[in-house]
Structure 1
Amino acid sequence: MASDSPPPSGLVEFQPTMPNYVYSPLSSAEAEIRLLAVEFNAKHVLRRINAPLLVGSLKKYNLPVPTLSRTQRMIRSARLPTFFALSYVWGDPTRTHDIIIDDKRLRITENLYTALRELQPSSLGFIWIWADAICINQDDLAERSAQVLLMREIYHSAADVKIWLGPSNENWMRCLRFISNLTEGSFISDVDSLPNAPTMDNNVEEMIMKAVMIPSGALARGVIGFGQSIIEVLDILDPPGLDEKAEMVQEEDGELSLHQETIEKFVKWKPPTRYLKRVENESFVEVADLIDRVFIQNCTWFERMWVVQELGVADNATIIASGGKSVSWSNLIRCVCYLHYTLHAPVKSIRNVIGMEKIRQGWNGRKRQPLRDLIRECRYRRATDPRDKIFSLLGLMGDKLNVYLKPDYSKSVREVYANAALHFIAQSESLDPLCSWQTLGRQNELPSWVPDYSLDQNLAPCPLVAIDGGSSIYNSSGHHHRSKYSRMDVAVTHESWSHLRTVGLCIDLVAVLSDPLQHSEPFGYAERLWNSTIRAAEEYLGGLTNEVKACLEGISSAVEKYSEYWTSLGDSSKDLDATDHLSKYTQSLDRDSKESIVTDGKALYLESIEPNLSPHDNYIVDAYAQTLLCGRKSARERISKEDIRIFMNLGEATNSRRAEILTTASNAFEAGMRQRSIAITRNGYIGAVPHNTHSGDFICVLFGCTVPVVVRKRGQEYLFIGESYLHGFMDAEALVMEMKGELNEQDFVLT
């Protein structure tokens, strides 16, 4: 990369009448970008109160995008200066600070202003920076839409992605010092090396600053530039951004499968002994908890959507802090992995960090995830503009860009989300992409069948449909042509994008429902509520015998014990090994309690799997037990009567098996009941439905969906409520009833 000439130097004085900066249009917003040049300022580096104004200059450059020829990319790369790309959180959107650009004032937020000030010492003379709020005309919707597609090339072309997490405090600096000492063996900034800097004479100050800062400046403009030039040459020869050469990969068992071997190197990393001596006086458990809270949970950067792509395409990334201190992103990963996996000092939110790193390694290795998987990976993240829940991930996805996904900020949120849903339907030839999303608190203006991608999907029920590209464990619409959704041409060509037309079978009406629970309630409390609902629906179930009531009591007693066990672990401990689960739990119990967890419910529930119950009674007990679990042992495995017998008779298991059963069963009950209500239909069917289901809603099988769904009739159209489990209708039984003339095919228009 060639270095560019600096902007005009000299002090600029702020004038109240100074005009506002006006952007000149980009020649081509799909290939051209602006870079900000900021002048080095020694007084600011030394924290002088009278530091001059923040002054910069904007200049336009063409990016060496992968769609160009090698020669064209080489020419553009040679003309592009070495620059840093800033990854930060806007914070308070009020623009309270100024940057002077070409003798004109541009208002910016406090967070951006502070980040730019921290980057100023990175080079003597001037430094080139790309920051979205300055380098993109935010008032030009067409430019914003076009620049979205360049974001990945911008951050990948940068010499380093500088991550500004916000102003530092004492705890923040303690974490940064620990990470640096553990992974690098030192923690010092350029300014720290200046003795008594604030009291030095200005001339002496300038001389020392030059002596100290020249190595840093050379690094920013020389070494990094040289290294980046090599990277750019490799990119020109074989750019990772070439999507046609990228492989689309799926999740495996709910975990990202991207470059697992790369993550393993972080998990297995151990610091040298001399580095461990630097942190030997620290409490590792305390520091792990502090890093989790300070760096991840309480830092809004880790909640932001755009940072996934900004970090995901970066060759190098550095977290910067106040006072010129910094730590590399890779060293943060090494530190949290060492604490969590090697020392068993839990970093509760480690998956958030690891997930981002897997995406980064995957993108640079031409491994792309489907957009739908990326949205789920970022389910807890936030975006100031809800449309960015989609647009911010387009550069990382393995899906081909099409008319549904092309970013356009002139479109409403409802249209952007509807188009994304239509893309997922067309891609999978299935209605499953509409299922398993959070429904509580969704935007009212969205069509009912369109998932609200802006919501925190951690609050959604555990999905019943396959979300990882694998085969579904259910088969409500069969395996023949009805298993695929094939009406996309009708939906797109002849109807508004807000309507979705399909065909299916209406099974029954919901008659009785349990009340919804708060998200924080344990599943044992949910089971008691479900149990009382079953008893209250006796008239629809054809009566409940004493034997059935005894079995229901036995089930309730056993589930309560699992719930107590699971609740006692705490969220952080649930990521540990199953044996550690049991050890932690039993240490807190007296002997009688330890005995009760393996005996309660045993004699009562055994009757439910023996032939002395009538077929009708056996159906009720089996349907209830299966519905508690939504018919699953895990996301990939159906539950069997033998599995349920084992769950309800834990005392028969050996000690070595008990820990595994406790964890498996607790997970299964949690996944089955969380955010769901039990429903009994008019014809006595039992199932689990979304919390927002009403009495009188229909449970249907829609062709092209692997699980039954709940819909609500509104005039001649239907509202889509969500996926459901209906015992006895998860394996094409509704299609058999249609063949017998008991159910009739009908059209559904979802709005």
Structure 2
Amino acid sequence: MDKLYTAYPLDHKKEHIRLINIDLGPWEAELTSTFSVVSLRDSPDFVALSYVWGDNSLSDHSAVNIEGCPVPVTPNLYAALRRLRWHAHEVGQGNLIVWADALCISQNDRIEKQHQIPLMRRIYSCCRNTAIWLGELSIRDNSASIPLSPHPSESIAVTDRLIQDLQHDQHLDKIEPFDRDETDSLFVDVRQVFERLSYSTWFLRRWVLQEAVLAATVKVYFGPVLQDLDTLSQAMENYAEHIEQACCTTAKPGHYIMRQRIRGFLQEFSSLQDLRDRRSERAHILHLCREFSGRQTSLELDCVYALLGLTNPPATIVPDYTVSIDSLCTEICTDYIGKEHSLDFLHLASSSIGQAQMPTWVVDWTAFVDCKASKRAWNWLADLFHPTAGLSQKPHIRDQYFLEIIACPIDRVEDTVKLPMTGNITDAIRNFLAILLDEVYSDVDYPTGGTWLMAWLRTLSADSCWGANSARRLSKEDCDFYWSSIFTGSGYAPGQKVRLAGGRLVLADAHLNDIIRMLRLVQEDRRIFYTNNGYIGVADDDIEPGDVVFLVPGCSMPMVMRSKDSAFYLQIVSACYLHGWTDGEIAIAPKRYRAVYIE
């Protein structure tokens, strides 16, 4: 096999790459192909494949014949190439020229890989289109990777039509399979197709982002289905509008789960399209790390390096796999503070998740990969809050370690309590309420107005819930509905709708699920705390009595910090939600702000 690659040498000074010229033919034909070498400077015509290697087991059952030499590949790559060839054959395409890293780069040549990997930004920028491969869609055998048939099953055909109908702005109650109940076999199969799609490992990987964003056009393949990225993103836009307006939300039992699965799949493409639309906008590597914090990489350092191709202007950071991750994360935050004079990332910092040699004001981006969604909840919610009412500051780094800022101490943590997250969540909430009613809080107004019970209710979910496609703040109507659903025993019949702020109608069961889902995200791995001055909030599990809550101009959430050596040298414990302080409701005199050093 090495002779195959040495017969097509690459000159990295001329930006050479190899391409696979796949022979077209019927579905049953062997995958045969030839190599060619081209320069990216000559604007070659090819399709760049974006995929996840998947199962690394290589066998003769999934091999590509390149000039008579069988080259073993992973089953997922084999399936992708076979599907691309089938689509090209079906439309009578003249040729199929593909760039796929596992085949076009000699995996046994370390020097070649070192030269080729930096060209990936150019490769995906120069290609005719990027072909995103999400995988096969067998719903009966979860281990299936090799396509057994070129033709779609009924459930896959319905999935394909459903996406196209949404793209054409059709109402949900006019779309198959929403004319069926949850026990219907076709309904179950379509739901499983969307589950398989939304759980595709492609959506978990970080390197694939630049592959989808940099290309001129993007096509998405899954099983026998081919869709344009524009179709998928438009389908999500229309779908979100219909859900928001509740104009055609079907009421049959089980349809809520189907809608969740469809949204879970389509919203991935909305975020991709949004990123493509913002390609010309300023994008610091820190913002990209925050936006895609949950995506995985094989190497810790790649949680940063995989996003460098999307920065604008190009980042000054050069990939160096000899540095430590704590040094790299510190460099990112330091560079951001120096260029942007902003602390809008500080709510993601925490002493509990940082590297041992990392200051607590530095965000450890590796901590958000493979972690629970609850760990990333502050990332989604922070933009909803404005505790310092537009105040800003110019932070400074001292001695390459200490972050000098101004902050205002507003209260001290007096006690903490954990909301049980096991068993029935509504029972846990009711039992927690009983404890609260045994205390004086039930008869006392909250310090910033309103009842203590309502403050407690809003704190459970950080005053937030899920909307049609993103998090939003709770309205009075949300809280009234929440209270009656959980505490008064007022049930809702299947299909019943409730009226929310602005007159919007939503299904009662779906809306309650959206609130409870946010509550779980907010409370998992966190604690409710009470302060000396009678406030209630929620912060990470590491919070302790004696910790101090600070307002930090430029930071989107109040910060809990702990004194180390003196009142001026602090460590960050966690961002927090503190009821009554999230929107600048309380005016703070400038003289109350003081300089502190975060280490």
- Fold match (TM-score > 0.5): yes
Distance 1:278 1:672 in 2: 31
Q: Which residue of structure 2 aligns with residue 296 of structure 1?
A: 198
Equivalent in 143, 157, 180 of residue 177 of structure 1: 157
Q: Which residue of structure 1 aligns with residue 495 of structure 2?
A: none
Q: How many equivalent pairs are there?
A: 542
Distance 2:207 2:403 in 1: 30
1:425 aligns with 2:337: yes
Compared CA separation, residues 427 and 535, structure 1 to 2 (3 A):
farther
Query: Given that residues 95 and 107 in structure 1 are in contact (C-alpha distance below 8 angstroms), is that contact kept between their aligned partners in structure 2?
Result: yes
Q: Aligned partner of 1:723: which letter?
A: A
Q: Aligned partner of 1:694: which letter?
A: E
Q: Aligned partner of 1:307: which letter?
A: V
Distance 2:12 2:197 in 1: 38
Query: Given that residues 421 and 434 in structure 1 are in contact (C-alpha distance below 8 angstroms), is that contact kept between their aligned partners in structure 2?
Result: no
1:46 aligns with 2:28: yes
Please report how far the alpha carbon of residue 114 of structure 1 lies from its aligned counterpart in structure 2 after TM superposition: 3.5
Query: Given that residues 38 and 129 in structure 1 are in contact (C-alpha distance below 8 angstroms), is that contact kept between their aligned partners in structure 2?
Result: yes
The residue correspondences of 1:560-709 to structure 2 (distance < 5 A) are 593-594=489-490, 670=519, 674-675=523-524, 676-681=526-531, 686-702=536-552, 705=555, 707-709=557-559
Normalised to the residue count of structure 1, the TM-score between the two structures is: 0.55
Distance 1:546 1:127 in 2: 71
Q: Which residue of structure 2 aligns with residue 131 of structure 1?
A: 100
The gaps in structure 2 that reach 5 residues or longer are 141-151, 250-254, 493-497
Distance 1:120 1:657 in 2: 48
Compared CA separation, residues 308 and 26, structure 1 to 2 (3 A):
same
Q: Aligned partner of 2:374: which letter?
A: L
Distance 1:156 1:655 in 2: 44
Please report how far the alpha carbon of residue 510 of structure 1 lies from its aligned counterpart in structure 2 after TM superposition: 3.2
Show CA shifts across 1:483-526 (max 9, x none): 313314x3xxx425xx5454545566534211265499748846
Distance 1:89 1:170 in 2: 19
Q: Which residue of structure 1 aligns with residue 386 of structure 2?
A: 473
SS class of match (1:403): coil
The residue correspondences of 1:312-351 to structure 2 (distance < 5 A) are 312-320=213-221, 326-333=226-233, 341=242, 344=249, 346-349=258-261, 350=263
Please report how far the alpha carbon of residue 561 of structure 1 lies from its aligned counterpart in structure 2 after TM superposition: 12
Q: Point out the structure with max Rg over C-alpha.
A: 1
1:514 aligns with 2:414: no
Show CA shifts across 1:541-582 (max 9, x none): xxx588439999985499779999x99x99999999x99x99
Please report how far the alpha carbon of residue 463 of structure 1 lies from its aligned counterpart in structure 2 after TM superposition: 3.9
Query: Given that residues 267 and 337 in structure 1 are in contact (C-alpha distance below 8 angstroms), is that contact kept between their aligned partners in structure 2?
Result: no
Please report how far the alpha carbon of residue 736 of structure 1 lies from its aligned counterpart in structure 2 after TM superposition: 4.1
Please report how far the alpha carbon of residue 99 of structure 1 lies from its aligned counterpart in structure 2 after TM superposition: 5.6
Please report how far the alpha carbon of residue 666 of structure 1 lies from its aligned counterpart in structure 2 after TM superposition: 5.4
Normalised to the residue count of structure 2, the TM-score between the two structures is: 0.67
1:748 aligns with 2:592: no
Query: Given that residues 436 and 442 in structure 2 are in contact (C-alpha distance below 8 angstroms), is that contact kept between their aligned partners in structure 1?
Result: no
1:711 aligns with 2:561: yes
Compared CA separation, residues 395 and 654, structure 1 to 2 (3 A):
closer
Judging by fraction of residues, say which structure has more helix: 1
Compared CA separation, residues 343 and 179, structure 1 to 2 (3 A):
farther
Q: Which residue of structure 2 aligns with residue 614 of structure 1?
A: none
Judging by fraction of residues, say which structure has more strand: 2
Show CA shifts across 1:431-465 (max 9, x none): 23121479876766754333243425842475499
Q: Which residue of structure 1 aligns with residue 305 of structure 2?
A: 391
Q: Which residue of structure 2 aligns with residue 721 of structure 1?
A: 573
Query: Given that residues 229 and 273 in structure 2 are in contact (C-alpha distance below 8 angstroms), is that contact kept between their aligned partners in structure 1?
Result: no
Query: Given that residues 59 and 73 in structure 2 are in contact (C-alpha distance below 8 angstroms), is that contact kept between their aligned partners in structure 1?
Result: yes
Distance 2:412 2:80 in 1: 58
Q: Aligned partner of 1:83: which letter?
A: F
Q: Aligned partner of 1:510: which letter?
A: V
Please report how far the alpha carbon of residue 692 of structure 1 lies from its aligned counterpart in structure 2 after TM superposition: 2.3
Q: Which residue of structure 2 aligns with residue 495 of structure 1?
A: 400
Compared CA separation, residues 431 and 443, structure 1 to 2 (3 A):
same
SS class of match (1:302): helix
Compared CA separation, residues 132 and 449, structure 1 to 2 (3 A):
farther
Compared CA separation, residues 277 and 138, structure 1 to 2 (3 A):
closer
Distance 2:15 2:573 in 1: 45
Distance 2:441 2:238 in 1: 57
Across the aligned residues of Structure 1 and Structure 2, the Cα RMSD in angstroms comes to: 5.9
Distance 1:126 1:464 in 2: 45
Query: Given that residues 506 and 701 in structure 1 are in contact (C-alpha distance below 8 angstroms), is that contact kept between their aligned partners in structure 2?
Result: yes
Q: Which residue of structure 2 aligns with residue 57 of structure 1?
A: 35
Distance 2:12 2:213 in 1: 25
Equivalent in 66, 77, 82 of residue 112 of structure 1: 77
Query: Given that residues 523 and 563 in structure 1 are in contact (C-alpha distance below 8 angstroms), is that contact kept between their aligned partners in structure 2?
Result: no
Query: Given that residues 701 and 734 in structure 1 are in contact (C-alpha distance below 8 angstroms), is that contact kept between their aligned partners in structure 2?
Result: no
Q: Aligned partner of 1:304: which letter?
A: R
Distance 1:23 1:734 in 2: 73
Please report how far the alpha carbon of residue 85 of structure 1 lies from its aligned counterpart in structure 2 after TM superposition: 0.8
Compared CA separation, residues 180 and 474, structure 1 to 2 (3 A):
closer
Distance 1:555 1:63 in 2: 65
Please report how far the alpha carbon of residue 293 of structure 1 lies from its aligned counterpart in structure 2 after TM superposition: 0.8
Please report how far the alpha carbon of residue 296 of structure 1 lies from its aligned counterpart in structure 2 after TM superposition: 1.4
Distance 2:541 2:57 in 1: 38
Compared CA separation, residues 516 and 501, structure 1 to 2 (3 A):
farther
